């Protein structure tokens, strides 16, 4: 595949994607300038904590994108996607941990502080190689990808579907949470991995590093979006939709449903892992609570509120809900946040099955109906297939 | 493929399947020749759907042989593999992919290209576009090609599904109650369509509608309690006293 | 000189007087007072006199004295029993054990004892207890002696063994005697003692046997005998350990069963994943708490009152949820899952707004304590009751499903909703009641669980994944499957624990279920049939 058709596809066919890219482009240019070039006392200055906060939202948006790919397009409701996010995060965290070197509290050049604290004498084998960024990056994809492959291969092959699948994905992340809480696992137990100093030699506290991480996150989000867009627009994407709508019919047409599910599940886990890896250096900590089933199910509500089955909807949903969360949990309404979140779950599922995007669409369709009726005669095949 | 002469396109021998002690299929045998159009009738619970499930790999029989093209043991394959061997199935309730357009539904069913990476980088070529156009014409849905399938009428969905079946280019078509819920006109058109299809495919039609069966004008198999009760032309079958008893005795 | 002689004479007279007075004042209170006031040397004699009174209260006094809890009030020299209290010492009357007051430690003088008195007290108390009328007291005393054998008490124990009529108590006394005898010089006596010990379940006996078998300097035949005996005890204790594990497993299993039954119903009949199920359990537990707050004087009966209350509270919340939310989502199981999860968040926060901490639920007396089977095995009452209770709930539910119209309709809807509808069953009505029933049973489970876990806003969360695992493992819509799955998981979990630790054991079980589902996607006891297909 050449690059041209994708860009063409994105720029000519899809209004929402175009807007999304414009907004991301503006953010990517404006935020660094307003943070680094505008003096701190200026009204236009974007403080670094804000850069990090937006960066965090973008990571969550990627995670939502990953979930939407499998839930919105293939009907696989994973209640354990936080696990892939956290695994990616841990892989990055392990790299950052090794980078601390002898600057830790105990000054051990090899062992992270928590291992010294536990009286460990040498580095466990699974920590080898994490001092190398390339290896760590490989693990960012490999760890969640392998888990997703193994789990998906078992589950899809034996046709575990629907709520059963949801429940066992939840059990999966729950089991991982319990495991990572254990000190013996060698991942820092309760406290997780934290006190990071620098990444690739750049100080993590420096504004320039923060801004760079922000921009990288934005680029990764754009990349993930294009990838998902490509998949869902390809014929494979239509097979996914057909699996979502009529799984058994799809089999009778001759598609190996389990292969498609496995493929998209693994892709989704990779995106989630990357999101986790970008999240950790910006937030500065990764701990087992990221595996909490509650976190995973929150991802679902981002996607549901944004509008599942539309990729930009997932991004909008993640940012909206997390913005609301930041606003509410820091203010006097902190106690009410869980009420709001609970209500959001109920209201979106009953009244807004297509989320915010559905509301916008409904409005747009009314306006555009007349035009569409006139344009119906135009031959459609051009939109089909990825050319 | 080496084209030795195939004796039976589908051969069932002594097939039995029970659910919780209830024998849905009981020692069923059936032999469909290449190019044959066969109608299968039977009262509710006669085992028609289970028979279809067994042929298409959805259900595994407890015992008996199920052979495709004389040699392939269908009980060893799953739905997708069986579909790819050339057995197409149309369900009783029309199941088209509701949120895809008519065109996309046909594209999905188009023969070939079933694995993930093929479909990921798939582009329709000219011949394929023509093939889809051809089928659209056949099922009379050219005008509605861009429409989401959920917006079609019941009859149109049936036709789209038949179209999807044909475009798979199967050797054997299993058609479950194609006339259900259709108007008389549509029913007759469907019968005509199936007859034309059977000119170069083998077809098994399961149906309740006697007018439809009559219009097909072909060999009929009567199923009862999971096994074959009678076989022959519709006239022969309908004068069989046991068939009369089963149909009228209840 | 003169002065000294005078003093000696005076003291002698005093002693004489007191001796005479002791002889005359035979009643309990005054004798106790004398014991308290007398010198160490006199105490031993006076204690004998106190025992000779055969007053049941004297045991309490003597015990208090041994424990250093017997005091003289400085003001009027009355004897009292004191217990530590945050504000000083809480004192009790010796004659009827009624609490008098809480006083400062300075206003009391402890009745002091020395080693000789302590030894005397032990002997006397042991003999009093060993000859008590109440068999449980005698048993307890024998057990105390097993825990701390006292060679000086040998004759008393031996006499008690002779007297003893209850065979079970006699056995324990014999063991107590053996633990003394085994240290004696007499080889025959020792061998006899080892024989008795080898037949016991006692960890104390095992410890002694192991020490003897490892003793290279002692007699070789004793060491050999002891080694054989230790093996026997160890084997027997292994069996007891196994039974104990089984018991713990069954009790964990019945907790799982209680938590999962309601879910099995809602999931099985309606295909609804109720993520708020854990919160229905929580509501039941809080109902127990509320009942205890409203009727603080009826703590003993509170659990019994709470059971129907919790059923009503959780059941009606369940019906409310069904009517307002779930009704709109039938046929969309994933959406139902999300909506009910929202409800669960909502309910948790509601409770948290009331009180974010755990609330103290009192355990009635009849549920606390344990039943001691033998030295190596004791079964706590609360767990025993929970096992019985869970089976009762399961049985009643099975009866309800089989024998009532609602049950029949529920089963019809489970098997084939469309068909049931067409037969005139109002499936929406059945759904509401089913959901209410499932939630109500969760409420009842909450009452039981309030007795063994913390009751707090998050308690439901701890159960939800486990209960789903049980339902999925057992097979949807099948109570028997739920039962076997719950018991199986409970027992497996408990047997894994010693090897893997609680957390790792749990992880193993989760992983096992994840793998199990691959093998049997519809659980152990899946419903079979044509209509179960999706």
Please state the rounded mean pLDDT for residues A249-262: 92
- Chains with ≥3 Cβ pairs under 8 A against B? A, C
Closest chain B CA to residue A228: B120
The two tokens of residue A124 are: 């466990």
A257 contacts on B by Cβ (under 8 Å): 80
- Whether C302 and C328 map to the same domain: the answer is yes
The greatest distance separating any two alpha carbons of chain C, rounded to the nearest whole angstrom, comes to 120
- Chains with ≥3 Cβ pairs under 8 A against C? A, B
| In C29-86, beta strands by DSSP E | 70-73, 79-85
CATH number at residue C293: 1.10.3470
Q: Which of A76-80, A220-224, C95-99 shows the lowest per-residue confidence on average (mean pLDDT)?
A: C95-99
Closest chain A CA to residue B53: A252
> Which pLDDT does position C290 carry in this prediction?
93
- Whether C413 and C487 map to the same domain: the answer is yes
Q: What is the mean pLDDT of chain A?
A: 88
Is A45 or A5 the better-scoring residue by pLDDT? A45
Instruction: Give the distance from residue C530's alpha carbon to the nearest chain B alpha carbon, in angstroms.
Output: 7
Please state the rounded mean pLDDT for residues B210-232: 86
Tell me whether residue C67 is exposed, middle or buried, using C-beta atoms within 10 angstroms of its C-beta: 0 to 12, 13 to 18, 19 or more: exposed
Q: Which pLDDT tens digits describe chain C residue by residue (534 residues)?
A: 566 666 666 666 655 555 554 444 457 778 888 888 888 878 888 888 877 777 778 788 888 888 888 888 888 888 888 888 877 888 888 877 788 888 887 888 888 888 888 888 888 887 788 877 787 878 888 888 888 787 777 888 888 888 888 888 888 888 888 888 888 778 788 888 888 888 888 888 888 888 887 777 777 777 888 888 888 888 888 888 888 889 988 988 998 998 898 888 888 777 788 889 999 999 999 999 999 999 888 888 888 899 999 999 999 999 999 999 988 888 788 888 889 999 999 999 999 888 878 888 888 888 887 887 776 678 888 888 989 999 999 999 888 888 888 888 877 877 777 777 777 777 788 888 889 999 999 999 999 889 888 899 888 887 888 888 888 888 776 788 889 999 988 888 888 877 777 778 777 887 888 788 777 777 776 654 444 443
pLDDT digits (tens, 9 = 90+) for B143-199: 888 889 999 888 888 889 888 988 888 889 998 888 777 788 888 888 888 888 888
In a domain, C225, yes or no: no
Q: Is B27 helix (H, G, I), strand (E, B) or coil?
A: strand
Instruction: Output the CA–CA distances (angstroms, integers) from residue C217 to C213, C214, C220, C221, C223, in the order listed.
Output: 10, 9, 8, 11, 9
C413 CB-near residues (< 8 Å, 6+ apart): C269, C270, C420, C425, C427, C430, C431, C434
Nearest alpha-carbon partner for A193 in A283, A119, A124, A270: A283
> Which pLDDT does position A387 carry in this prediction?
33
- Whether C206 and C286 map to the same domain: the answer is no
User: For residue A193, which phi and psi values (nearest 5 degrees)?
Assistant: -110, 130
A111 and A67 Cβ atoms separated by less than 8 Å = no
Given A163, A293, A339, which is nearest C273 (Cβ)?
Answer: A163
How many other CB atoms are there within 10 angstroms of residue C243's CB atom?
14
In a domain, C224, yes or no: no
A192 and A287 Cβ atoms separated by less than 8 Å = yes
Q: Which of A202-216, A335-349, B172-186, C316-330 shows the lowest per-residue confidence on average (mean pLDDT)?
A: B172-186
Name the residue with tokens 């990571």: A59
A250 contacts on B by Cβ (under 8 Å): 97
The two tokens of residue C401 are: 């499903």
In a domain, B4, yes or no: no
pLDDT at position A365 over 60: yes
Secondary structure of C413-425 as H, E, C letters: HHHCHHHHHHCCC
The two tokens of residue C8 are: 């000696």
Alpha-carbon Rg of chain A, whole angstroms? Answer: 22
Strand partners, C377: C374
In a domain, C74, yes or no: yes
Interface test with B, best of A384, A385, A386 (most B CBs within 10 A): A384
Pairing between β-strand C88-93 and β-strand C99-103 as defined by DSSP bridges: antiparallel
Name the residue with tokens 């009204």: A43
Interface test with C, best of A162, A179, A335, A349 (most C CBs within 10 A): A349
C276 contacts on A by Cβ (under 8 Å): none
Chain B residues within 8 angstroms (CB to CB) of chain C: 19-20, 24, 50
CB contact under 8 A, B58 and A248: yes
Q: Where are the domains of chain A?
A: 3-372
In a domain, B179, yes or no: yes
Tell me whether residue C18 is exposed, middle or buried, using C-beta atoms within 10 angstroms of its C-beta: 0 to 12, 13 to 18, 19 or more: middle
Strand partners, C359: C455
CATH number at residue B69: 3.40.50.300
In a domain, C169, yes or no: yes
CB contact under 8 A, B124 and A384: yes
Given A241, A256, A376, which is nearest B99 (Cβ)?
Answer: A241
In a domain, C16, yes or no: no
> Which pLDDT does position A273 carry in this prediction?
97
- Whether C352 and C487 map to the same domain: the answer is yes
How many other CB atoms are there within 10 angstroms of residue A181's CB atom?
17
B216 and B192 Cβ atoms separated by less than 8 Å = no
Residue span of the structural domain in which C207 resides? 131-218
- Whether C178 and C263 map to the same domain: the answer is no
pLDDT digits (tens, 9 = 90+) for C162-193: 888 888 888 888 888 888 888 877 878 888 88
Domain count, chain C: 3
The two tokens of residue C477 are: 């819509």
User: For residue B173, which phi and psi values (nearest 5 degrees)?
Assistant: -110, 130
| Band (A260; pLDDT cuts 50, 70, 90) | very high
Cα(C115)–Cα(C136) distance, integer angstroms? 29
Domain count, chain B: 1
Instruction: Output the CA–CA distances (angstroms, integers) from residue B90 to B164, B168, B170, B184, C532, in the order listed.
Output: 9, 12, 12, 20, 21
Q: Global pTM?
A: 0.81
Q: Which of A233-237, B106-110, C219-223, C225-229 shows the lowest per-residue confidence on average (mean pLDDT)?
A: C219-223
Instruction: Give the distance from residue C396's alpha carbon to the nearest chain A alpha carbon, in angstroms.
Output: 28
B114 contacts on A by Cβ (under 8 Å): 254-256
In a domain, C10, yes or no: no
In a domain, B150, yes or no: yes
CB contact under 8 A, B114 and A376: no
How many other CB atoms are there within 10 angstroms of residue A191's CB atom?
15
pLDDT at position A139 over 90: yes
Interface test with A, best of C330, C334, C351 (most A CBs within 10 A): C334
- For chain A, percent of residues with pLDDT exceeding 90: 56
Cα(C346)–Cα(C353) distance, integer angstroms? 10
Strand partners, B89: B174
Interface predicted TM-score of the whole assembly (ipTM), two decimals:
0.84
- Whether C485 and C345 map to the same domain: the answer is yes
pLDDT at position A381 over 60: no
C458 and C278 Cβ atoms separated by less than 8 Å = no
Cα(C518)–Cα(C298) distance, integer angstroms? 50
In a domain, C123, yes or no: no
Given C329, C346, C468, which is nearest A349 (Cβ)?
Answer: C329
CATH topology of domain A3-372: ABC transporter involved in vitamin B12 uptake, BtuC (1.10.3470)
Residue span of the structural domain in which B143 resides? 10-248
B89 contacts on A by Cβ (under 8 Å): 252
Name the residue with tokens 């098994």: B204
- Whether C452 and C415 map to the same domain: the answer is yes
C166: left (phi over 0), alpha (psi -120 to 50) or beta: beta
B174 contacts on A by Cβ (under 8 Å): none
Given C328, C345, C519, which is nearest A345 (Cβ)?
Answer: C345
Cα(B179)–Cα(C347) distance, integer angstroms? 52
Instruction: Output the CA–CA distances (angstroms, integers) from residue B232 to B214, B216, B222, B235, in the order listed.
Output: 13, 13, 9, 8
């Amino acid at each position: 595949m050449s690059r041209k058709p994708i860009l063409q596809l994105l720029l000519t066919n899809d209004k929402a994607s175009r807007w999304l890219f414009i907004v991301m482009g503006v953010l990517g240019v404006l935020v660094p300038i307003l943070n680094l070039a505008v003096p701190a006392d200026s009204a236009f200055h974007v403080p670094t904590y804000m850069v990090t906060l937006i960066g965090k939202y973008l990571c969550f948006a990627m995670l939502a994108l990953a979930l939407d790919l499998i839930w919105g397009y293939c009907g696989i409701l994973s209640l354990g996607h936080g696990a892939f996010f956290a695994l990616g995060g841990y892989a990055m965290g392990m790299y950052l941990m090794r980078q601390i070197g002898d600057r830790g509290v105990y000054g051990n050049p090899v062992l992270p502080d928590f291992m010294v604290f536990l009286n460990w004498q040498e580095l466990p084998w699974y920590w080898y190689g994490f001092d190398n960024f390339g290896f760590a990056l490989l693990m960012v994809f490999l760890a969640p990808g392998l888990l997703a492959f193994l789990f998906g291969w078992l589950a899809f092959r034996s046709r575990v579907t629907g709520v059963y699948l949801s429940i066992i994905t939840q059990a999966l992340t729950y089991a991982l949470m319990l495991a990572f809480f254990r000190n013996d696992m060698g991942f820092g137990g309760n406290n997780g991995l934290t006190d990071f100093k620098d990444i690739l030699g750049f100080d993590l506290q420096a504004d320039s590093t923060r801004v760079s991480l922000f921009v990288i996150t934005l680029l990764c989000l754009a990349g993930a979006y294009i990838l998902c867009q490509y998949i869902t627009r390809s014929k494979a994407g239509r097979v996914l939709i057909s699996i979502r709508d009529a799984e058994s019919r799809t089999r009778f047409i001759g598609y190996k449903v389990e292969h498609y599910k496995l493929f998209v599940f693994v892709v989704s886990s990779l995106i989630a892992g990357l999101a986790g890896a970008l999240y950790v250096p910006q937030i500065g900590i990764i701990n087992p609570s990221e595996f909490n089933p509650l976190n995973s199910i929150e991802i679902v509500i981002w996607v549901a509120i944004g509008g599942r089955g539309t990729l930009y909807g997932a991004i909008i949903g993640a940012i909206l809900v997390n913005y609301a969360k930041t606003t509410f949990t820091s203010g006097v309404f902190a106690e009410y946040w869980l009420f709001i979140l609970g209500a959001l779950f109920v209201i979106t599922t009953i009244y807004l099955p297509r989320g915010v995007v559905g509301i916008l669409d409904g409005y747009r369709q009314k306006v555009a109906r007349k035009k569409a009726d006139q344009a119906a005669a135009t031959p459609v095949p051009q939109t089909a297939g990825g050319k | 493929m080496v084209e030795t002469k195939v004796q039976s396109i589908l051969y069932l021998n002594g097939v039995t399947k029970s659910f919780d002690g209830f024998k849905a299929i009981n020692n069923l045998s059936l032999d469909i020749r290449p190019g044959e159009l066969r109608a299968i009738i039977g009262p509710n619970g006669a085992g028609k759907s289970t028979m279809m499930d067994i042929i298409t790999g959805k259900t595994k029989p407890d015992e008996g042989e199920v052979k495709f093209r004389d040699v392939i043991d269908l009980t060893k394959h799953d739905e997708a593999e069986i579909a790819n061997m050339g057995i197409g199935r149309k369900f009783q309730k029309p199941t088209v992919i509701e949120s895809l357009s008519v065109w996309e539904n046909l594209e999905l069913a188009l023969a070939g290209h079933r694995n993930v990476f093929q479909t990921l980088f798939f582009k329709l070529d000219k011949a394929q576009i023509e093939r889809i156009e051809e089928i659209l014409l056949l099922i009379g849905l050219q005008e509605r090609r861009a429409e989401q399938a959920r917006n079609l009428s019941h009859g149109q969905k049936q036709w789209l599904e038949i179209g999807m079946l044909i475009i798979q280019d199967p050797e054997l078509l299993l058609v479950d109650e194609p006339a259900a819920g259709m108007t008389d006109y549509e029913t007759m058109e469907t019968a005509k369509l199936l007859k034309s299809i059977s000119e170069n495919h083998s077809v098994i039609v399961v149906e309740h509608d006697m007018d439809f069966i009559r219009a097909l004008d072909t060999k009929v198999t009567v199923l009862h309690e999971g096994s074959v009760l009678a076989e022959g032309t519709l006239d022969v079958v309908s004068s069989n006293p046991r068939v009369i008893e089963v149909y009228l005795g209840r | 000189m003169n002065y000294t002689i005078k003093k000696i004479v005076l003291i002698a007279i005093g002693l004489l007087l007191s001796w005479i007075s002791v002889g005359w004042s035979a009643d309990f209170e005054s004798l106790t007072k004398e014991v308290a006031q007398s010198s160490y040397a006199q105490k031993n004699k006076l204690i004998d006199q106190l025992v000779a009174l055969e007053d049941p209260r004297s045991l309490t006094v003597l015990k208090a004295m041994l424990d250093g809890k017997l005091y003289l009030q400085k003001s009027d020299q009355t004897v009292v029993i004191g217990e530590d209290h945050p504000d000083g010492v809480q004192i009790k009357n010796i004659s009827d054990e009624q609490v008098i007051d809480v006083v400062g430690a300075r206003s009391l003088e402890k009745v002091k004892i020395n080693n000789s008195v302590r030894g005397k007290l032990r002997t006397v108390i042991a003999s009093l207890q060993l000859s008590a009328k109440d068999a449980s007291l005698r048993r307890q005393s024998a057990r105390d002696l097993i825990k701390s054998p006292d060679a000086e008490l040998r004759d008393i124990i031996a006499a008690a063994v002779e007297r003893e009529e209850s065979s079970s108590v006699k056995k324990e006394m014999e063991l107590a005697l053996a633990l003394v005898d085994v240290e004696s010089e007499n080889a025959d006596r020792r061998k006899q003692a080892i024989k008795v010990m080898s037949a016991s379940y006692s960890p104390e006996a095992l410890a002694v046997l192991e020490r003897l078998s490892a003793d290279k300097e002692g007699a070789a035949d004793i060491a050999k005998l002891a080694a054989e005996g230790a093996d026997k005890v160890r084997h027997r204790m292994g069996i007891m350990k196994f039974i104990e594990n089984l018991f713990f497993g069954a009790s964990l299993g019945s907790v799982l069963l209680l938590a999962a039954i309601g879910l099995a119903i809602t999931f099985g009949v309606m295909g609804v994943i109720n993520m708020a199920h854990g919160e229905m359990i929580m509501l039941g537990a809080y109902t127990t708490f509320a009942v205890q707050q409203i009727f603080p004087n009826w703590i003993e009966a509170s659990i019994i009152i709470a059971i129907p209350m919790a059923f009503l509270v959780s059941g009606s919340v369940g019906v409310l949820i069904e009517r307002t939310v779930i009704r709109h989502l039938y046929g969309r199981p994933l959406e139902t899952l999300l909506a009910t999860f929202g409800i669960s968040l909502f309910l948790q926060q509601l409770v948290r707004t009331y009180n974010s901490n755990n609330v103290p639920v009192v355990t009635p007396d009849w549920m606390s304590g344990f039943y001691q089977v033998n030295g190596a095995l004791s079964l706590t009452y609360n767990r025993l009751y929970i096992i019985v209770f869970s089976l009762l709930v399961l049985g009643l539910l099975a009866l309800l499903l089989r024998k009532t119209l609602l049950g029949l309709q529920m089963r019809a809807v489970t098997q084939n909703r469309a068909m049931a509808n067409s037969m005139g069953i109002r499936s929406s009505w059945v759904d509401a009641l089913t959901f209410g029933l499932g939630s109500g049973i969760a409420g009842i489970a909450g009452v039981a669980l309030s007795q063994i876990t913390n009751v707090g806003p998050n308690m439901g969360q701890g159960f939800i994944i486990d209960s789903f695992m049980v339902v999925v493992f057992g097979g949807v819509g099948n109570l028997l499957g739920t039962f076997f799955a719950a018991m199986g998981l409970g027992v497996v979990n408990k047997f894994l624990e010693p090897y893997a630790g609680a957390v790792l054991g749990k992880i193993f079980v989760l992983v096992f279920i994840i793998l199990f589902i691959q093998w049997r996607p519809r659980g152990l006891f899946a419903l079979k049939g044509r209509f179960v297909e999706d």
